[in-house]
């Protein structure tokens, strides 16, 4: 059986080379559907016998995308479009994009007309999710998507297959939550970069295969004594942090992520889909139940209190808010998150991040200072 | 070309007075202990109006504050005191600053603080984040109507059903907050007036189609405050009727509020740069360019008879529709306005509006065979506008229009 180190290297290999993973799926005769952020119902893709493949931009700078987007847009959307325009996504049989923020709205249009070789599958979701009207809208939308995704994969998605996919995804999300908890207890064994790699690999690999490996890793980690000695325990908040230059700084300064409020991580992994009844309805209801996220309308702004709660519950030494540049939802919440953390007595630092940032020197200084404060 | 006599609009002042009155009566109502709502510009205001609720519009207020020169001070308050990023929409920054301060630096445009907020994201998602913040900091209820962005050309049934369902929900919520029953009859009356106001407003915007136009297109930027804020009021109907009668008079008498020769007619796309309204207008005027097409006409002209039709109307807002429909709308307006070119504001504040604007501009230019140029600006934050760039871009546009005109002679 592989050891912890080998398993982590395997995940890192996939996370660092998504294109190779994509080629493997294609070589195995699979259809692959891209999935952008947020809360995209990958289960449909899986049930159609295809592989869902995460596309959240990539590190780099936009050039062709600038023909479509003015410069003041988040890098996830700019770089996803850039990848499309650069033909990096041509092997996909489609890409599912949501429109939960203004930039995503525009991105869906730019992608649809700019990258015609990859059909854009538009995912519409309700924001008024606590109401019956919202629930029904989600069901109607997801029912349509079942047909659209089926078409893109040349198949009819049947409910048995969808129910199976839901089961797999529930198990996978549970295993991932366990992994994040184990990684939090074992920072000496799982670095911040490796934590991100395990998550990212999950966006690229076949979920069944990823699940097996994550379960194996969890078992090995659980057998090791927990220790955060010598580490500065932080809660990470934000959309993403899988930027090598950034994780390197976090690791060099011995940060341990003991809890996260990261959209690509725990926010996405919160979904638990009912395994009873109509699977499409179950998927819709699971989305309507999601919360604590800047991108989801919430009259009580649960997201704000959630970050402070994570601090209190996890025994962290501080909170690091990684603010995605040009991200409206996060920027509107940021001062409130900062205040809630301050009220909870949490040392707090806010760092601007972007996939197109060339130098992280300022972030380095900020994080070094923060490490001193909480260390 | 017909010689035009410069004219001053009297009716324009009547329209402006209606807008002013919205603020004045809300201030008065607050003093009398009545409830005040802050409401987003394209929230179905017929619902709160039927409740007799006093509504004021933070977007219009922010526009007025910035037109009067206090945009930067308010933005800086939002950034430095409230910790808001300078990347977010300047209206949202100004409004949150106002919610914090309760007043403008020099009384630019005062309005009462709200007891509740009414939010609809049919023009952008920034809106619900902004209103969430208002509700949180002021500790007041929020009523939200979600209009999901539509990737298809037509509005489908599931959207209408969803929006319609939210109307019922909003009514229930308001009944609870206001402790008062929803009056269907009153609602029908308001809808009737709103539709009539919408029609008169649309008619007003269509006088720009006359060549030469009886007024300068920039006048619309001012008058739209009434179309935004007082759609359900009889005074607005009267004011627009007066304005329209004046337009017809001007057309008959070859008069216009546009001073000078209307050498070129263009589409202006995007929100005005309020802090630089004078400069942006004069630059065009000095080169003989009038704006005869802008999207504000259809943006605030809703016609419907019941809640179902109202749901469909609000779901069709220009910012909630797909690229093709958004483009088609502009192209039709360009054709009606008989434009020779287009000037597109890439608005640093407005992520929604600017996000597919370069592609829309390309399409309009290609489909109508007219030059379309873009300039960088901001509706309210004066730090994001360069007069030099603006003038150069307008000059470039005029040169091409001149040369096209020569070719056509
Ligand atoms: S939520 Fe923020 S980071 Fe995500 S797509 Fe929207 S603007 Fe970009
Ligand atoms: S300017 Fe744009 S972002 Fe700001 S409120 Fe208006 S539509 Fe929304």
* Per-residue pLDDT tens over the stretch B282-319: 999 999 999 999 998 777 777 777 788 888 888 887 78
Mean pLDDT of chain B: 94
Residue from B125, B154, B173, B319 to probe the interface with A (highest A Cβ count within 10 Å): B125
Based on DSSP, count helices (H) and strands (E) in chain A, helices before strands.
Answer: 15, 8
Q: Judge whether A324 and A353 are in contact, CB under 8 Å.
A: yes
State the Cα–Cα distance between residues A90 and A41, nearest whole angstrom.
21
Q: Is the pLDDT of residue A375 over 90?
A: no
B302 CA to centre of ligand 1 in angstroms:
31
Q: Is the pLDDT of residue A269 over 70?
A: yes
Q: What average pLDDT does range A68-96 have in this prediction?
A: 98
A326 CA to centre of ligand 1 in angstroms:
8
Q: Which of B142, B164, B356 is nearest residue A110 as measured by Cβ atoms?
A: B356
- A254 and chain B in contact, CB less than 8 A: no
pLDDT of residue A202: 98
Q: Is the pLDDT of residue A1 over 70?
A: no
CB-based burial of residue B378 (10 Å sphere; 0-12 exposed, 13-18 middle, 19+ buried)? buried
State the Cα–Cα distance between residues B197 and B90, nearest whole angstrom.
29
User: Across the interface, do A134 and B146 touch by the CB < 8 Å criterion?
Assistant: yes
* Per-residue pLDDT tens over the stretch B100-159: 999 999 999 999 999 999 999 999 999 999 999 999 999 999 999 999 999 999 999 999
Contacts B141 to A, Cβ<8 Å: 299
State the Cα–Cα distance between residues B49 and B32, nearest whole angstrom.
18
If one counts every other C-beta atom within 10 angstroms of the C-beta of residue A73, the result is 25
Q: Judge whether A209 and A232 are in contact, CB under 8 Å.
A: no
Q: B346 forms bridges with which residues in the sheet?
A: B376
What CATH number did the domain enclosing B169 receive?
3.40.50.11890
Ligand with an atom nearest the CA of residue A80: 1
Ligand with an atom nearest the CA of residue B379: 2
Q: What average pLDDT does range A336-347 have in this prediction?
A: 98
State the Cα–Cα distance between residues B323 and B304, nearest whole angstrom.
25
Fold exhibited by the domain A31-157:
Rossmann fold (3.40.50)
Contacts A113 to B, Cβ<8 Å: 323, 359
Q: Confidence band (pLDDT; 50, 70, 90) for A223?
A: very high
Based on DSSP, count helices (H) and strands (E) in chain B, helices before strands.
Answer: 17, 10
Q: Give the residue among A81, A53, A21, A22 at the shortest CA–CA distance from A356.
A: A81
Q: Judge whether A261 and A306 are in contact, CB under 8 Å.
A: yes
Contacts A297 to B, Cβ<8 Å: 128, 132, 144, 146
Contacts B328 to A, Cβ<8 Å: none
**CA distance to partner chain B, nearest, from residue A340 (Å):** 12
Residue appearing with tokens 């009539």: B196
User: Across the interface, do B132 and A297 touch by the CB < 8 Å criterion?
Assistant: yes
Closest ligand 2 atom to B59 CA: 5
User: Across the interface, do B162 and A133 touch by the CB < 8 Å criterion?
Assistant: yes
Q: Which of B85, B146, B159 is nearest residue A334 as measured by Cβ atoms?
A: B85
Phi, psi for B149 (deg, rounded to 5) = -55, 140
Q: Atom 1 (ligand 2): residue with closest C-alpha?
A: B350
Could you tell me if residue B125 is inside a domain? yes
Q: Judge whether B129 and A336 are in contact, CB under 8 Å.
A: no
Q: Atom 2 (ligand 1): residue with closest C-alpha?
A: A327
Q: Which residues have a Cβ under 8 Å from the Cβ of B92 and sit 6 or more positions away?
A: A332, B84, B126, B129, B130, B133
Q: Judge whether A193 and A282 are in contact, CB under 8 Å.
A: no
Question: What ipTM was assigned to the predicted interfaces of this complex?
Answer: 0.97
State the Cα–Cα distance between residues B14 and B166, nearest whole angstrom.
36
If one counts every other C-beta atom within 10 angstroms of the C-beta of residue A124, the result is 24
- A102 and chain B in contact, CB less than 8 A: yes
Strands of A94-98's sheet, edge to edge?
Answer: A51-54, A32-35, A94-98, A120-123
Q: Atom 6 (ligand 2): residue with closest C-alpha?
A: B350
pLDDT of residue A23: 98
Q: Atom 5 (ligand 1): residue with closest C-alpha?
A: A104
State the Cα–Cα distance between residues A219 and A232, nearest whole angstrom.
25
Q: Atom 3 (ligand 2): residue with closest C-alpha?
A: B350
Ligand with an atom nearest the CA of residue A322: 1
**CA distance to partner chain B, nearest, from residue A219 (Å):** 41
Q: Is the pLDDT of residue A168 over 90?
A: yes
- B37 and chain A in contact, CB less than 8 A: no
Q: What average pLDDT does range B27-44 have in this prediction?
A: 96
Q: Is the pLDDT of residue B198 over 70?
A: yes
Could you tell me if residue B143 is inside a domain? yes
DSSP code of residue A67 = G
Q: A122 forms bridges with which residues in the sheet?
A: A97
Instruction: Report the domain count for chain B.
Output: 1
Q: Judge whether B122 and B46 are in contact, CB under 8 Å.
A: no
Spell A316-338 as b/e; 16+ CB within 10 A means b. Answer: bbbbbbbbbbbbbbbbbbbbbbb
pLDDT of residue B408: 80
| % of chain B residues with pLDDT over 70 | 99
Ligand 1 pocket test target in A70, A97, A327 with most atoms within 8 Å of CB: A327
Could you tell me if residue B205 is inside a domain? no
Could you tell me if residue B81 is inside a domain? yes
Closest ligand 2 atom to B123 CA: 7
User: Across the interface, do A299 and B348 touch by the CB < 8 Å criterion?
Assistant: no
Question: What angle do helix axes B234-253 and B184-206 make, rounded to 10 degrees?
Answer: 20
Q: Which of B121, B161, B359 is nearest residue A127 as measured by Cβ atoms?
A: B121
Q: Is the pLDDT of residue B1 over 70?
A: no
Q: Which residues have a Cβ under 8 Å from the Cβ of A231 and sit 6 or more positions away?
A: A187, A188, A254, A255, A256
Could you tell me if residue B287 is inside a domain? no
A235 CA to centre of ligand 1 in angstroms:
20
| % of chain A residues with pLDDT over 90 | 99
Could you tell me if residue B29 is inside a domain? yes
Q: Which of B85, B124, B169 is nearest residue A133 as measured by Cβ atoms?
A: B169
Q: What average pLDDT does range B76-94 have in this prediction?
A: 98
**Pseudo-torsion of CA A279, A283, A285, A291, nearest 10°?**
160
Q: What average pLDDT does range B52-65 have in this prediction?
A: 96
Could you tell me if residue B379 is inside a domain? no
Residue-wise DSSP of B319-334: GGS-HHHHHHHHHHHH
Q: Among residues 302-331 of chain B, which lie with CB inside 8 Å of chain A?
A: 322-323
* Per-residue pLDDT tens over the stretch B372-381: 999 999 999 9
Residue-wise DSSP of A328-363: HHHHHHHHHHHHHHHHTT--EEEEEE-TT-S--HHH
B356 CA to centre of ligand 2 in angstroms:
14
Residue appearing with tokens 């809106």: B127
- Structure tokens of B174? 């308001």
Could you tell me if residue B399 is inside a domain? no
- A301 and chain B in contact, CB less than 8 A: yes
Ligand with an atom nearest the CA of residue A334: 1
- Closest residue in B to A329 (Cα–Cα): B129
B125 CA to centre of ligand 1 in angstroms:
11
Q: Judge whether A44 and A159 are in contact, CB under 8 Å.
A: no
- A326 and chain B in contact, CB less than 8 A: yes
User: Across the interface, do A294 and B352 touch by the CB < 8 Å criterion?
Assistant: no
pLDDT of residue A221: 98
User: Across the interface, do B355 and A112 touch by the CB < 8 Å criterion?
Assistant: no
pLDDT of residue B293: 96
Contacts A76 to B, Cβ<8 Å: none
Q: Judge whether B341 and B261 are in contact, CB under 8 Å.
A: no
User: Across the interface, do A102 and B126 touch by the CB < 8 Å criterion?
Assistant: yes
* Rounded alpha-carbon distances, angstroms, from residue B191 to A229, A236, B48: 67, 49, 11
**Residues in contact with ligand 2 (CB, 6 Å cut-off):** B 59, 89, 91, 123-124, 126-127, 271, 349-350, 352-353, 379
Strands of B116-120's sheet, edge to edge?
Answer: B54-56, B36-39, B116-120, B142-145
Contacts A333 to B, Cβ<8 Å: 129
- A305 and chain B in contact, CB less than 8 A: no
* Per-residue pLDDT tens over the stretch A24-63: 999 999 999 999 999 999 999 999 999 999 999 999 999 9
* Per-residue pLDDT tens over the stretch B333-386: 999 999 999 999 999 999 999 999 999 999 999 999 999 999 999 999 999 999
Q: Which residues have a Cβ under 8 Å from the Cβ of A362 and sit 6 or more positions away?
A: none
State the Cα–Cα distance between residues B284 and B270, nearest whole angstrom.
16
Q: Is the pLDDT of residue B2 over 90?
A: no
Q: Is B293 helix (H, G, I), strand (E, B) or coil?
A: strand
User: Across the interface, do B125 and A102 touch by the CB < 8 Å criterion?
Assistant: yes
- Spell out the SS3 assignment of B349-372: CCHHHHHCHHHHHHHHHHHHCCCE
Domain residues for the domain of B48 are 22-182
Q: Judge whether A302 and A291 are in contact, CB under 8 Å.
A: yes
Q: Which of A110, A133, A329 is nearest residue B129 as measured by Cβ atoms?
A: A329
pTM of this structure:
0.97
Q: Judge whether B316 and B350 are in contact, CB under 8 Å.
A: no
* Per-residue pLDDT tens over the stretch B247-275: 999 999 999 999 888 999 999 999 999 99
Domains A31-157 and A230-375 share a fold: yes
- Cβ of A97 below 6 Å from ligand 1: no
- B76 and chain A in contact, CB less than 8 A: no
**CA distance to partner chain B, nearest, from residue A90 (Å):** 22
Pick left, alpha or beta for residue B357 (phi over 0 → left; psi -120 to 50 → alpha; otherwise beta): alpha
Q: Is A140 helix (H, G, I), strand (E, B) or coil?
A: helix
Phi, psi for B198 (deg, rounded to 5) = -55, -45
Strands of B289-293's sheet, edge to edge?
Answer: B289-293, B264-269, B341-347, B372-377
Determine the CATH number of domain A230-375.
3.40.50.11900
Q: Is A295 helix (H, G, I), strand (E, B) or coil?
A: coil
**CA distance to partner chain A, nearest, from residue B362 (Å):** 10
> Domain limits of chain A?
31-157, 230-375
- B221 and chain A in contact, CB less than 8 A: no
**Chain centroid to CA B29:** 25
Q: Give the residue among B176, B229, B188, B202 at the shortest CA–CA distance from B17.
A: B229
Q: Which of B84, B133, B355 is nearest residue A102 as measured by Cβ atoms?
A: B355
Residue from B349, B351, B362, B376 to probe the interface with A (highest A Cβ count within 10 Å): B351
């Amino acid at each position: 059986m592989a050891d912890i180190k080998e398993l982590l290297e395997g995940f890192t290999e996939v996370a660092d080379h998504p294109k190779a993973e994509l080629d493997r799926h294609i070589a195995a005769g699979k259809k692959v559907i891209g999935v952008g952020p947020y809360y995209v119902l990958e289960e449909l893709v899986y049930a159609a016998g295809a592989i869902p493949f995460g596309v959240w931009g990539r590190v780099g700078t936009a050039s062709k995308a600038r023909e479509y987007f003015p410069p003041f847009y988040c890098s996830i959307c700019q770089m996803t479009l850039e990848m499309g325009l650069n033909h990096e996504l041509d092997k996909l049989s489609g890409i599912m994009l949501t429109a939960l923020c203004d930039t995503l709205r525009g991105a869906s249009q730019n992608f649809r007309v700019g990258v015609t070789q990859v059909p854009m599958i538009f995912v519409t979701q309700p924001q008024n999710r606590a109401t019956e009207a919202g629930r029904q809208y989600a069901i109607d939308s997801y029912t349509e998507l079942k047909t659209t995704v089926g078409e893109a994969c040349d198949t009819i998605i049947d409910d048995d297959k969808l129910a199976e996919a839901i089961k797999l995804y529930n198990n996978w999300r549970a295993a991932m939550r366990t992994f994040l908890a184990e990684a939090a207890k074992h920072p000496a064994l799982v670095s911040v970069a490796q934590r991100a790699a395990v998550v990212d690999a999950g966006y690229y690999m076949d979920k069944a295969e990823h699940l097996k490996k994550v379960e194996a890793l969890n078992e090995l980690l659980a057998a090791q004594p927990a220790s955060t000695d010598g580490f500065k325990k932080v809660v990470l908040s934000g959309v993403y942090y899988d930027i090598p230059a950034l994780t390197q700084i976090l690791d060099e300064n011995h940060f341990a992520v003991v809890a996260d409020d990261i959209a690509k991580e725990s926010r996405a992994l919160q979904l638990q889909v009912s395994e009873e009844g109509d699977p499409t309805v179950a998927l819709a209801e699971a989305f309507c139940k999601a919360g604590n996220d800047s991108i989801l309308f919430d009259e009580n702004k649960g997201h704000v209190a959630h970050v402070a709660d994570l601090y209190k519950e996890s025994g962290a030494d501080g909170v690091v808010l990684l603010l995605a540049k040009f991200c409206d939802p996060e920027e509107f919440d940021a001062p409130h998150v900062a205040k809630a953390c301050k009220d909870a007595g949490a040392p707090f630092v806010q760092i601007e991040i972007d996939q197109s940032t060339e130098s992280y020197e300022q972030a380095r200084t900020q994080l070094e200072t923060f490490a001193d404060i909480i260390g | 070309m017909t010689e035009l006599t410069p004219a001053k609009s009297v009716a324009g002042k009547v329209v402006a007075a209606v807008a002013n009155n919205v603020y004045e009566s809300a201030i008065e109502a607050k003093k009398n202990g009545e409830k005040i709502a802050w409401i987003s510009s394209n929230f179905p205001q017929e619902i709160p109006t039927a409740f007799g609720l006093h509504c004021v519009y933070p977007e219009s207020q922010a526009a007025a504050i910035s037109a009067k020169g206090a945009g930067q001070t308010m933005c800086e308050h939002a950034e430095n005191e409230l910790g808001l990023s300078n990347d977010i929409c300047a209206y949202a920054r100004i409004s949150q600053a106002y919610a914090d301060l309760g007043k403008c630096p020099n009384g630019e445009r005062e309005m009462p603080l709200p007891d509740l907020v009414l939010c609809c994201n049919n023009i952008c998602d920034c809106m619900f984040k902004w209103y969430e913040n208002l509700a949180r900091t002021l500790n007041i209820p929020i009523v939200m109507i979600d209009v999901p962005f539509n990737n298809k050309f037509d509005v489908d049934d599931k959207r209408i059903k969803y929006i319609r369902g939210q109307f019922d929900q909003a009514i229930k919520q308001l009944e609870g907050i206001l402790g008062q029953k929803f009056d269907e009859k009153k609602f029908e009356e308001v809808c009737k007036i709103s539709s009539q106001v919408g029609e008169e407003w649309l008619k007003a915007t269509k006088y720009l189609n006359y060549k030469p136009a009886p007024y300068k297109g920039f006048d619309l930027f001012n008058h739209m405050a009434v179309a935004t804020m007082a759609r359900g009021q009889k005074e607005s109907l009267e004011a627009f009727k007066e304005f329209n009668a004046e337009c017809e008079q001007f057309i008959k008498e070859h008069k216009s509020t546009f001073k000078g020769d209307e050498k070129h007619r263009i589409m202006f796309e995007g929100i005005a740069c309020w802090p630089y309204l004078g400069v942006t207008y004069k630059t065009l005027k000095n080169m003989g360019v009038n704006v005869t097409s802008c999207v504000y006409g259809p943006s605030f002209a809703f016609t419907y008879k019941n809640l179902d039709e109202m749901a469909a109307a609000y779901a069709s807002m220009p910012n909630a529709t797909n690229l093709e429909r958004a483009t088609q709308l502009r192209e039709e307006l360009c054709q009606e306005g008989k434009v020779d070119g287009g000037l597109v504001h890439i608005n640093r504040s407005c992520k929604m509006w600017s996000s597919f604007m370069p592609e829309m501009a390309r399409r309009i230019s290609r489909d109508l065979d007219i030059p379309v140029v873009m300039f960088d600006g901001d509706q309210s934050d004066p730090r994001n506008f360069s007069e030099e760039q603006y003038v150069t871009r307008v000059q470039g546009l005029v040169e091409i229009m001149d040369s096209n005109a020569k070719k056509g002679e």
